[in-house]
Amino acid sequence: MSQLRQLLDRIETGGDGYQIRVEPRELDSAVFDAALRRGLRAAEEGGADEAGPLLEAALDLWRGNALQDTPLDGDLALAHTHLDEQRLACFEELMKVRLAQGRHTEVLHQLNSVIGAHHPLREQLWILRMTALSREGRCAEALNAYQDIRSRLVDELGVDPSPALRKLHGRILARSPELCPVPGEYPSPRGRRSGTPQQLPIDVPALHGREEQVGLISAHLTTRGASAPPIVSVEGCPGVGKSALAVHVAHRIAGTFPDGRLYVDLHGVSAVAEPLTPHAVLTRFLRAFDVDEAPADAEEAASLLRTALSGKRVLIVLDDAASVEQVLPLLPSEPACAVLVTARQNLTSLRPSLRVRLSVLAPEPAVSMLTRTVGEDPLPPGSPTARRLARLVGHLPAALQAVADRLLPHPAGYADHLLSRLSDVRCRLDVLRTGGLSVADRIGASLTALRHGGQAAAAEAFCRLGGAHGAAFTLQEAAELLGGSVENADRTLELLLNANLVDYAGPGRYEMHELIRLYAREQYARRSSTAEGAARGERSPAGRLLAPEHTLHAAAGLLSTHRVS
């Protein structure tokens, strides 16, 4: 095992065993889930032509059955069921899209194969099959298909067809016009008038401690008379609330932009999705203005968008930008438009007309956010526990929301228990995992973005800085931790400053937010533990292999039959 760990530096010691450190974008299940969600979102927005390729790409990630050749029991069995259901849902949605495109024969061929070989009793597949048959003008065969599945359900399961299946049967009998052989499930983008684009996500119910920024940004974006559109960039560390602020401001000033509000999550620093290409965003924006087919050339598409926006007053929100290069092709030239960009790294070279660096909340707004979110039962007004909870998570909005999520399901008194757990720095980040994207996930995504952006050395330096004695450190101390010169340390810290993972605290001094420091400390400890274990030549039975992903059970099986010497 020690020799294997030397070859694969991602195998780390953890507890009494080992685990494999995997980046989110390297997990096939996470990549598939993100691709599926993008496809479903495109389908919901009515774009069959856009949804089809996205769903196909998601299915193309599969090379066999989930957890193939892995013994399934307990949690693994549940994971297998979930993955299989997600794959089926993706396939069914793709069949709906192809029906909308009029590809009935192709749909029938694929459905017949899947139903016959794998899922003879899955009613949704039979609904799609009957729909395809009827749209092909083969209504008699569609009615026979209903009798076939009805007999199977009664004979094998002792149940009648579902209401949805019975309703479809009735519509076919009545020769419903909706089942004639034309696209119907999704409106085709071609020839469709979309009206005024209104793409903003739902507004946050309350935004605490950001009144000054809201007023400043709102005033800047609605100021007229300049020769170029106003561009505001909102930058800051992971979890500081950039997206919430941008969406809130956009809703506040929406009435000033009667010709539309465009929004896109660029996935610049995402734990599960690749950053969107400018061309993909241009295609989406052009479709909002009834341009059915975007030019294949990105520069031509950008020029076409500028033309479409000419003479219009449109607000464009570009959330979570990866880089200036990703943003530049999306900018309008029409002065009556306005652009609001959020990013974790500094976008200085974008030369925005207003740049806002968002910091953590002040103590009072942080406590207010916490108490108003959870109500008076878990945290009565003026509770000293609320102040201590807010202080322990460094007044970071994402962490405060995680604390609130922990408190909400529990009665009064649980807050003291949660306070006790958060007081232990060894488990603080784990306590802040409440489902969805955790604080640790957000920080880890920033490191992944550095690695994928050609700054792997900076990401490694961040982990080494976890060896500092406290949240603050000097340039000289950083150089010693990084094992290089002061000049090299200064250049590296500049990269981390730009990524908002480190803060400048004065001449020759730097500091990290407490939760970011804890994450760096964990990474430092893992690397130190791995190095020490390798030096001792430790070995461990394959059965002690620990990992966050179920597929590592297969790795354990391989290790148990092939000894590493």
Among all chains, which residue has been given the structure tokens 């950008």? 302
Residue 411 — very low, low, confident or very high, per pLDDT cuts 50/70/90?
confident
Whether the pLDDT of residue 94 is over 50: the answer is yes
Asked if 304 contacts 291 with a C-beta cutoff of 8 angstroms, the reply is yes
Spatial distance between the Cα atoms of 151 and 159, rounded to a whole number of angstroms: 10
Name the band, by pLDDT with cuts 50, 70 and 90, for residue 528.
confident
Average pLDDT over residues 488-506: 94
Compute the distance between CA of residue 521 and CA of residue 513 in angstroms, rounded to an integer. Answer: 12
Q: Measure Cα distances from 443 to 42, 384, 447, 520 in Å.
A: 28, 29, 7, 9
Are 211-358 and 439-544 equal in CATH topology? Answer: no
In the beta sheet, which residues pair with residue 286? Answer: none
Residue 285: band (very low, low, confident or very high) from pLDDT cuts 50, 70, 90: very high
Alpha-carbon distance of 306 to 312, in angstroms, equals 10
Strands 231-236 and 354-358, bridge-based pairing: parallel
User: Picking from 94-98, 233-237, 515-519, 526-530, which range would have the lowest pLDDT averaged per residue?
Assistant: 526-530
Give the pLDDT confidence score for residue 147 in this predicted structure.
92
CB of 50 within 8 A of CB of 287? yes
The phi, psi pair for 28, rounded to 5°, reads: -60, -35
Question: pLDDT at position 17, please?
Answer: 65
Q: Are 323 and 269 in contact (CB under 8 A)?
A: no
Q: What is the pLDDT of residue 520?
A: 93
> Residue 298: in which H helix or E strand, if any?
helix 298-309
**Range name among 109-113, 313-317, 342-346, 390-394 with the lowest pLDDT average:** 109-113
Least confident of 60-69, 94-103, 143-152: 60-69
pLDDT > 90? residue 28: no
Q: Are strands 503-506 and 509-511 parallel, antiparallel or unpaired?
A: antiparallel
Please report the pLDDT score of residue 399 as a whole number.
Answer: 94
* Range ranked top by mean pLDDT from 14-18, 103-107, 548-552: 103-107
Q: Where are the domains of the chain?
A: 25-179, 211-358, 363-431, 439-544
What's the farthest any 2 CA atoms get from each other in the chain? 82
Token pair 């694969």 is found at: 8
- The one-letter amino acid code at 198 reads Q
Give the residue with greater pLDDT, 371 vs 178.
371
Neighbours of 486 (CB within 10 A): 15
The pLDDT value recorded for residue 539 is: 37
Query: For the domain bounded by 211-358, which CATH number is listed?
Result: 3.40.50.300
Separation of alpha carbons 398 and 360, rounded Å:
10
pLDDT, tens digit (0-9, with 9 covering 90-100), for 291-331: 877 888 999 999 999 999 999 999 999 999 999 999 999 99
**Residue 80 scores a pLDDT above 90:** no
Say what the alpha-carbon torsion angle 296, 301, 304, 305 is, to the nearest 10 degrees: 140
Predicted confidence band of residue 436 (pLDDT cuts 50, 70, 90): low
Q: What is d(CA 343, CA 235) in angstroms, rounded to the nearest whole number?
A: 5
> What CATH superfamily is the domain 25-179?
Tetratricopeptide repeat domain (1.25.40.10)
Residue 356 near residue 232, CB atoms below 8 Å:
yes
Q: How does the average pLDDT of the chain come out, rounded? A: 83
Which candidate, 462, 455, 474, 443, places its Cα nearest to that of 502? 462
Give 295-298 contacts, CB < 8 A, sequence gap 24+: 298/329
How far apart are the C-alpha atoms of 94 and 151, rounded to whole Å? 27
H or E, element range at 18: strand 17-20
Torsion angle of the four alpha carbons 207, 213, 214, 218, in this order, in degrees rounded to the nearest 10: -160
Select from 141, 60, 128, 69 the least CA-distant residue to 100: 128
Contacts of 305 (CB under 8 A, 6+ apart): 282, 285, 286, 289, 330, 332
- One CATH from 3.40.50.300, 1.10.10.10, 1.10.10.60, 1.10.645.10 for 439-544: 1.10.10.10
Q: pLDDT grade, residue 68 (50/70/90)?
A: low
Give the residues across from 316 on adjacent strands: 262, 339
Q: Is 45 helix (H, G, I), strand (E, B) or coil?
A: coil
Q: Residue 74: which pLDDT band, with cuts at 50, 70 and 90?
A: low
